[in-house]
A and B are shown apart, each in its own frame.
Chain A
Amino acid sequence: MTAVLVLWLVACLTGTWAVDRGNFKTCDQSSFCKRQRALKPGESPYRALLETMELTNTRLTLQLINDNNKVRLLLELYRLQGNITRVKINELKPLKPRYEVPDVLVREPPTEPLSLLSQDENGVVLSLGAEAQRVIVSARPFRLDIVEGRDVLMSLNSRGLLAFEHLRMRKDTFSYKVTSTVASTNKDEDEKEDGMWEETFKSHTDSKPNGPSAISLDFSLPGVEHVYGIPEHADTLRLKTTDNGDPYRLYNLDVFQYELYNPMALYGAVPVMLAHSAQRTTGIFWLNAAETWVDISSNTTVFGKMLDYVQGSSETPQTDVRWISESGIIDVFLMLGPTAKDVFAQYASLTGTQSFPPLTAVGYHQCRWNYNDQEDVKAVDAGFDEHDIPYDFIWLDIEHTDGKRYFTWDPHKFASPKEMLQGIMDKKRKMVAIVDPHIKVDNNYKIHNEIRSRGYYIKNKDGGDYEGWCWPGSAGYPDFTREDMRAWWASMFAYDQYEGTMENLYTWNDMNEPSVFNGPEVTMHKDAMHGAWEHRDLHNIYGFYVQMATAEGLVQRSGGVERPFVLTRAFFAGSQRYGAVWTGDNAAEWDHLKISIPMCLSLGLVGISFCGADVGGFFKSPSAELLVRWYQTGAYQPFFRAHAHLDTPRREPWLFGPENTALIREAVRQRYTLLPYWYQQFYHAHRTGEPIMRPLWVEYPQDPATFALDDEFLIGRDLLVHPVTEEGSRGVTAYLPGKDEVWFDVHTFQKHNGAQNLYIPVTMSSIPVFQRGGSIIPRKLRVRRSSSCMEHDPYTLFVALNPQRTAEGELYEDDGHTFNYEKKEFLHRRLSFVNNALSSVNLAPDATFTTQSWIERIVLLGARKPSRVSMKTADGPENQLEFDYDSSTSVLTLRKPGMNAGADWTVNFE
C-alpha cells in the first residue's frame, strides 16, 4: 500500500514538468491510423478504368476501382495556374457526402488547359503545359507520375498505399442486407476489426456512427533527401523518418508541457510539406481537416526500372511520404516549384498570404498571466518608461474577465477599462485582451444566452448543446464553421457590444484547438456535430475559423478601415490570412529556446510568417541568462512577446539587476531600430507569401550545407541571425552561406567571406547578426517609447557593398495601421548602389504617400574613402555632403544628407 502511494507520489511529482504522454494517442491507439499503417507497400488493389476517362479543357476525370471490394472512386485531375497540379479522389457514389474543406482556398483555383499526349491500354500521358511537364496515369495498378523532361518529380500511389475506406452501413443494422450487395463482397473480417464502429480511448468512447472513413495516399519524391513543414511539431526543421516510431501527427491539441524532438501533435496543423534537393523544391498540400498522420521514410530506389524513359538506372535517393486522414476526401495540391520561392507563390495563390499587420504589432509585446488590475498595468507601463525600454503592447490574460466570461471585465480589478486604455493610448501604446472560444454556461451571461438562443453552439451526438469543461467551468463551444455564427461573433467586437473597449484594444484567441479539459485528448469529442458534419471531419480547422471571425470583428468595428491584430494558438492552412501565431505553452528551458527557431521556420515555410515563442518560456522560471538570451533571440523573430505562467515569479525586464536590464534594453532597442526592415518584410510576405524568417536553404538552395541548419536563420534575404542559445556560451559557430557573398557583422561592421563556418566569440551582450554584402537596410536609430512614437523619425541607410561594389534594397512606408495601402497609399522605393552612385527610385509610381521622414545618415560598409560626395535631388541643386571615413573598418558615414524618404535622389561618390 505504501509502495503504491509512494509510486503515485513519485508519478505526480515527476509528472509535473513533462507531458503526460498517456493523455494523447499513439498511432496504435488511433484505430484508423493503426489500420492504415498495417497496410504495407505492395501492389495497389486500385486500377484505373481508362474507358471512364473524360477530358475537358481543364479537367480529367477517371474512375478507379478497388479490385478487392469493387468500390469505385472518382479521380479528378486539374492543372492549376502557376505550376500546380490538383488531384482529388472521392468515392464515386458515397453513401452520404464526404467532407470537403471549405474556406481555406482563397478562391476556386484557376485552371490551365490539359492536353492528351498519348493513350494506350496501360495508361494515359497528359501534358501539363510548358516545360515538358507530363502526368502519366498508369492503369494497372493505378499510379500517377509527374515527369519533367527525363526527371520524375513525384509519384503517387507508387507504393500502392492508396486506401479509401468507403462509407458503409453497419452490418448489424437492418439496412445492411439491402446494401451489402453493393458494398464489399470481400472478406468480412475487416468489419470485425476493432475501432471501426466504436472506439474507446481512456474513459472516452467515440460512437463513430458513420463507421470507418479513413483515406490514405503515398507520394514518392525521387532525388529528395530533405523534407520540411507539416507544422506544428516541436522538432527539427528537417523532418525525420518515422519508420521506427510514430508518424508525425496533425491534430490540434492543447498539450500540457509538451516534449521536444518528437512527432506528437501540438496546437496547430498545416498539412503542407516541402521537399527540397539541390535541383528543385516542390510541395504537397493535403487539404484535409481531419486527424492526419504523416509517415516519412527514406529510400534509395533503382528508379529506372519503373519508367523506361527515365534516365539511367542508377540509384537515386528518394523520400517516401504517406498521408493518412480519418475522414474526408483526398484533395491534394502538388506544387511543382521549381524553386522554393515558386512553391511559396504557388501555396500563396491557393491559401493567401500573411496578413499585413499594423506596424505596432511588429514591436515588442509584454504579456503575463496575469497583470492583476489596472494599477498593475499602469505600474508595468511606467516601469518600461522608467527603464527606458520600448514596448508597444501590454496583454491581459483570462483573469481580466468577469469570471472567465469573455467580452467582459472584472468589475473590481478592471473597473474602468476605458480609462486604462486611454492611459495606454496617451503613451501611443496598445493592449491585447484575451477572448477564448469556450463560453461559460450561465443564464446571466449575454453572450451565452445569445449563442444558445440562436442555436449557434456545437451539438453533442444526441443533439443537445455540447458542453465541456474549460476555464469558466462548464462551457459551450460556438460553431465557428457556420458563417452566420462567425458574422454574429464578429459583430460582438463592435465598441457598443464589447463594452469598455477602444480602438487600441486588440484580441488574442487561445484554447481554440478547441481545448476541452474533460474531453478525449483534452479536446472535443469527435462525434460532436457541426450541422451535418461530425467534429471528426473538421477538427483541425476549428481554430482557423475562430481567428477568422475575430479578425473580421476587429475590421468591422473600425468600419473596414483599420488592420486587425489577432493572435491564435490553433491554426490550419490559411491561418496566415488572419494574424499571428505563437508556439503555445513552452517552458523556461534552454532547449525550448533552441526549438523556437525550427518551429517558427517550419511555420514560415507553410505561409505563416508571423510566428513567435513565449520569450522567457511560459512554464517555470528562467535564469537571468536564459531570459536575456531569449530576448536576444526573440528580438529577431517575427512575433516578439514575453509571456509567463501565473505561478511563476515576476519577470519584467528590470527585475534581474541593472546589468541584465541593460542587456534586455539593448536587445529590444535593436528590434526597434530594425522596424522599417521588419515592416518591409511583412509587406513583402503579404505580397508574395515568402517567409520572413526563413531557413538558409531557401536563399542558398544549391548548398547542401544549409539544408538542415536550424540554429540560425535569415530575416528576408539580407540579415542572418545566429542567436546564442547555449547556457554559458563563449562562442557560436555560424555558417555564412554563399561562396560569392560577403557578410558584415552589424555591430562591428567586420567583413566575412561566405561559404564558411565562422567562429564568433560571444559575451552576454552578443547577438550575432550579419548583413549580406549587396544589400541596403533602412533603420530608425532614434528608438523611442513605442513604434508609433517613431513614425516620423528619419532613416539611416546601411549600405553593405558586395565584392562587385553594388548593393540593393527597398524602403517601404505607409500609415502603418489602415487598409489604405490597398488604395495605393504607400511609398515603395528601390535603393541601389551601382557605379559609385547610390540612388532612390520609385518602385510604385502609381502609389502616393507623403512622409515626414528623411534620410539622416547613410552608412556604407566595405567602402573606399571618397574624395568628394555629392547629392542631387530631383528639384534641388547639387549639394556636397559631409562624410566621415573610418579606414580601420572601411566604413563611410554620410552626415545628414537630409532628403525626404519619398524623394528621388542620387548620391555620387567620387
Chain B
Amino acid sequence: VFINCSLRRFSSEVEKKTQRSFSLMLDKRFYRERKSFLCIDGSKIIPSEQVNDDYCDCEDGSDEPGTSACPRGRFYCTNLGYRPHYIPSSRVNDGICDCCDASDEYNSHAHCPNTCWNLGQRERAYVEGQMRTLDEGLRLKQQLIEEGVLLWREKQAQLGELQQVSEDLQLKLEEHRRKKHEAERLKEQALKALEARDGGEGHFFFNLLYQLKGILNQNIFKIFLKMRALGLLLTLCFGFLSDLQKKLAIDYGANREFLFLNILTPFPPDLFHSKHIFLVWGTWSGTPKNQYGQMVYENGEPCWQGGSRSATVTLTCGTETALRSVKEPSKCQYIMDFQTPVACQPVLKQQGIHSEL
C-alpha cells in the first residue's frame, strides 16, 4: 500500500555491490536519499546503505523491496505496457520469469524476454471482446428482463386465474354439498313418510314412494360423483397453485432476470447422469458483491461409497444461455460453468474500463 507503484530494479548485481543505481521512483517519504531508513512498520531504523543490500533488516520486509532477502517482502513489477503487480520477494531471481518486463530476474540465469507489450495487446483484445460480449449480453439481459416482466405478469395472471378457478371450484363444491344435503333431507322425508304410511295405503303408493327413494338415491349419488370430480379438480388446482406460488417466491434476482431459467428452460440442462439431483432450484451462494454469481445444489443422488452428489454452478456473462463446462474434481462433486446474458452486470463494464491499459 505504502510503497505503491514505486520501486524499480537496479541494474547491477546486488551481491557484487558495484555501483548500485537505484532508479527509484520512490515514494519520497520512505526512500528519500538520506542517511537512515525507518522500516515502514516503524520497528527499526537502519542506515540507508542497508536498503536493498540483500539482507533483511526489517521485520516487515520494507528494507528489501528489490531483493529476495525478506520472507514477507513484496516486489513490484512495473510491467510497462501491461498491468503492474506485486509478487512475493521469493520470486525475485529464482530463475522463473514472473514480471512480464523481466525485472524480477535481474541476477539469474533465466533469460526473460519482455512480454508486456504482447500481453497488453492480448489483454486489450480480450477486454474488447469481453466488452462486446458484455454489451450484447446486457442488451439480451434487458430483453430477458422485459420478457421476464411479461412472464411474471403472465404468471401472476395465471396465479390469479388459478386462484379464481379454485374459488369457483370451492363455491361449486359448496353448492353441491348444499344440494346433496338437500337431496338427503328430501330422501329422509320421503322415507319417513313411507314409514308413517306403512299401515297399508295400497300397493301403488308404496311403489311410487319406493321409486321416489330410488330417484332420490340416484340424485344423491350423482351429486356425490360431481363433488368427487370437483374435489379432484380442486386438489389439482391447489397443487398448481402452490407450485406456482413456490416458484414465484423464489429469488430470481433484483429484476427477476433469472425467472426465465426456471420457467422456460430446464435448468440446468438435462445432461447429467442423475435425474434426481437437479429437479430442484439450488441455493444462491455468490459473494456479497455478486450474490447471483453462484448457485449450489446439495443432497443430490447418493454417491457410491457414501455421501451425496453436489454441484456448484458458476454463472458467468455470455451472449448465450448454455452450460460451458462440467468438472468433477472429487467424486460426485461437480463444478459447472454456466453462461447466460442475465449474469452480465453493468458493473463489469466499469471494471473492464478500469483494466484498459
Q: How far is the CA of A469 from the CA of B68 in the complex (A)?
A: 53
Return the chain A residue nearest B90 by Cβ. A784
A685 to chain B, nearest CB (A): 29
Do B329 and A650 touch across chains, with their CB atoms under 8 A apart?
Answer: yes
- The stretch from B91-99, B115-123, B160-168 touching chain A is B91-99
Do B305 and A647 touch across chains, with their CB atoms under 8 A apart?
Answer: yes
- Please judge, given known A-B contacts A647-B304, A789-B96, whether A782 and B331 are in contact too, CB under 8 Å: no
Do B90 and A648 touch across chains, with their CB atoms under 8 A apart?
Answer: no
B54, B95, B306: most-surrounded residue (chain A CB, <10 A):
B95
Do B68 and A782 touch across chains, with their CB atoms under 8 A apart?
Answer: yes
A823 to chain B, nearest CB (A): 23
Partner of A646, one of B55, B68, B331: B331
Residues of A within 8 A of B94 (CB): 428, 784-785, 789-790
Give 1 or 0 for each of A767-806: 1 = CB within 8 Å of chain B CB: 0000000000000011111001110010000000000000
Residues of B within 8 A of A788 (CB): 95
B113 at the interface (CB under 8 A from A): no
Return the chain B residue nearest A371 by Cβ. B329
Q: How far is the CA of A114 from the CA of B266 in the complex (A)?
A: 89
A-B pairs with beta carbons under 8 A, tally: 58
Which residues of A843-891 are within 8 A (CB) of B? 854, 856-857
Residues of A within 8 A of B15 (CB): 854
Residues of B within 8 A of A428 (CB): 94-96
Do A784 and B91 touch across chains, with their CB atoms under 8 A apart?
Answer: yes
B327 at the interface (CB under 8 A from A): yes
What band does the interface of chain B fall in when counting residues whose beta carbon is under 8 Å from A?
A: 20 to 34
B69 to chain A, nearest CB (A): 7
B198 at the interface (CB under 8 A from A): no
Q: How far is the CA of A782 from the CA of B75 in the complex (A)?
A: 14
Q: How far is the CA of A427 from the CA of B303 in the complex (A)?
A: 37
Q: How far is the CA of A426 from the CA of B94 in the complex (A)?
A: 11
- Please judge, given known A-B contacts A782-B69, A784-B90, whether A649 and B330 are in contact too, CB under 8 Å: yes
Do B305 and A783 touch across chains, with their CB atoms under 8 A apart?
Answer: no
Q: How far is the CA of A782 from the CA of B64 in the complex (A)?
A: 13
B88 at the interface (CB under 8 A from A): yes
B119 to chain A, nearest CB (A): 16
Partner of B71, one of A16, A376, A782, A857: A782
Residues of B within 8 A of A646 (CB): 331
Return the chain A residue nearest B57 by Cβ. A895
B133 at the interface (CB under 8 A from A): no
Do B55 and A896 touch across chains, with their CB atoms under 8 A apart?
Answer: yes
B321 at the interface (CB under 8 A from A): no
Do A856 and B330 touch across chains, with their CB atoms under 8 A apart?
Answer: no
B328 at the interface (CB under 8 A from A): yes
**Interface size of A by Cβ–Cβ distance < 8 Å?**
26
B333 at the interface (CB under 8 A from A): yes
- Please judge, given known A-B contacts A426-B96, A789-B96, A895-B55, whether A647 and B90 are in contact too, CB under 8 Å: no
A372 at the interface (CB under 8 A from B): yes
Q: How far is the CA of A648 from the CA of B331 in the complex (A)?
A: 7
* Overall SS of chain A's interface: loop
Do A427 and B55 touch across chains, with their CB atoms under 8 A apart?
Answer: no
Partner of A427, one of B96, B305, B327: B96
B307 to chain A, nearest CB (A): 8
Residues of A within 8 A of B96 (CB): 426-428, 785, 789
Do B88 and A388 touch across chains, with their CB atoms under 8 A apart?
Answer: yes
Q: How far is the CA of A789 from the CA of B69 in the complex (A)?
A: 14
Residues of B within 8 A of A781 (CB): 71
Q: How far is the CA of A646 from the CA of B95 in the complex (A)?
A: 35
Do B330 and A648 touch across chains, with their CB atoms under 8 A apart?
Answer: yes
Residues of A within 8 A of B333 (CB): 649-650
B52 to chain A, nearest CB (A): 13
Residues of B within 8 A of A648 (CB): 330-331
Residues of B within 8 A of A427 (CB): 96
Which residues of B63-98 are within 8 A (CB) of A? 68-69, 71, 88, 90-91, 94-96
Partner of A372, one of B303, B304, B328: B328
Which residues of B323-339 are within 8 A (CB) of A? 327-331, 333
Give 1 or 0 for each of B1-30: 1 = CB within 8 Å of chain A CB: 000000000000001000000000000000
A541 to chain B, nearest CB (A): 35
Give 1 or 0 for each of A497-517: 1 = CB within 8 Å of chain B CB: 000000000000000000000
Which residues of B306-357 are within 8 A (CB) of A? 306, 327-331, 333
Residues of B within 8 A of A388 (CB): 88, 90
Give 1 or 0 for each of B45-62: 1 = CB within 8 Å of chain A CB: 000000001110100000
Return the chain A residue nearest B53 by Cβ. A896
Which residues of A372-402 are within 8 A (CB) of B? 372, 376, 388
A388, A854, A856, A896: most-surrounded residue (chain B CB, <10 A):
A896
B149 to chain A, nearest CB (A): 40
B333 to chain A, nearest CB (A): 6
B70 to chain A, nearest CB (A): 9
Q: How far is the CA of A461 from the CA of B69 in the complex (A)?
A: 66
Residues of B within 8 A of A793 (CB): 68
Residues of B within 8 A of A372 (CB): 327-329
Partner of A650, one of B55, B304, B330: B330
Do A785 and B55 touch across chains, with their CB atoms under 8 A apart?
Answer: no
Do B90 and A785 touch across chains, with their CB atoms under 8 A apart?
Answer: yes
Residues of B within 8 A of A16 (CB): 305
A876 to chain B, nearest CB (A): 14
Residues of A within 8 A of B305 (CB): 16, 647
Residues of A within 8 A of B91 (CB): 784-785
Return the chain B residue nearest A896 by Cβ. B55
Residues of B within 8 A of A790 (CB): 94
Return the chain B residue nearest A651 by Cβ. B330
Return the chain B residue nearest A895 by Cβ. B55
Do A376 and B55 touch across chains, with their CB atoms under 8 A apart?
Answer: no
Do A376 and B329 touch across chains, with their CB atoms under 8 A apart?
Answer: yes
Return the chain A residue nearest B67 by Cβ. A782
Q: How far is the CA of A783 from the CA of B71 in the complex (A)?
A: 7
Q: How far is the CA of A783 from the CA of B91 in the complex (A)?
A: 9
Do B90 and A783 touch across chains, with their CB atoms under 8 A apart?
Answer: yes
Q: How far is the CA of A785 from the CA of B68 in the complex (A)?
A: 12
Return the chain A residue nearest B304 by Cβ. A647
Residues of A within 8 A of B306 (CB): 647
B91, B330, B331: most-surrounded residue (chain A CB, <10 A):
B330
Q: How far is the CA of A424 from the CA of B95 in the complex (A)?
A: 14
Return the chain B residue nearest A650 by Cβ. B330
A274 to chain B, nearest CB (A): 41
B137 to chain A, nearest CB (A): 25
B56 to chain A, nearest CB (A): 9
Q: How far is the CA of A752 from the CA of B125 in the complex (A)?
A: 63
Q: How far is the CA of A16 from the CA of B306 in the complex (A)?
A: 11
Q: How far is the CA of A376 from the CA of B96 in the complex (A)?
A: 22
Q: How far is the CA of A783 from the CA of B92 in the complex (A)?
A: 11
Residues of A within 8 A of B331 (CB): 646-648
Q: How far is the CA of A388 from the CA of B74 in the complex (A)?
A: 12
Do B95 and A856 touch across chains, with their CB atoms under 8 A apart?
Answer: no
Give 1 or 0 for each of B26-50: 1 = CB within 8 Å of chain A CB: 0000000000000000000000000
Give 1 or 0 for each of B294-305: 1 = CB within 8 Å of chain A CB: 000000000111
A372, A781, A784, A896: most-surrounded residue (chain B CB, <10 A):
A784
Which residue numbers of B lie inside 8 Å of A, CB to CB?
15, 53-55, 57, 68-69, 71, 88, 90-91, 94-96, 303-306, 327-331, 333
Can you list 29 pairs linking A and B with CB atoms under 8 Å apart?
Answer: A372-B329, A376-B329, A426-B96, A427-B96, A428-B94, A428-B95, A428-B96, A647-B304, A647-B305, A648-B330, A648-B331, A649-B333, A782-B68, A782-B71, A782-B90, A783-B71, A784-B90, A784-B91, A784-B94, A785-B91, A785-B96, A788-B95, A789-B94, A789-B96, A790-B94, A856-B54, A856-B55, A895-B57, A896-B54
List the 8 shortest-distance A-B pairs measured between CB atoms, nearest first. Answer: A789-B94, A896-B55, A784-B90, A649-B330, A650-B330, A647-B305, A784-B94, A647-B331
Which residue numbers of A lie inside 8 Å of B, CB to CB?
16, 372, 376, 388, 426-428, 646-650, 781-785, 788-790, 793, 854, 856-857, 895-896
Contacts beyond the supplied A427-B96, A784-B68, A895-B57: 4 A-B pairs with Cβ under 8 Å: A376-B329, A428-B96, A647-B304, A785-B91
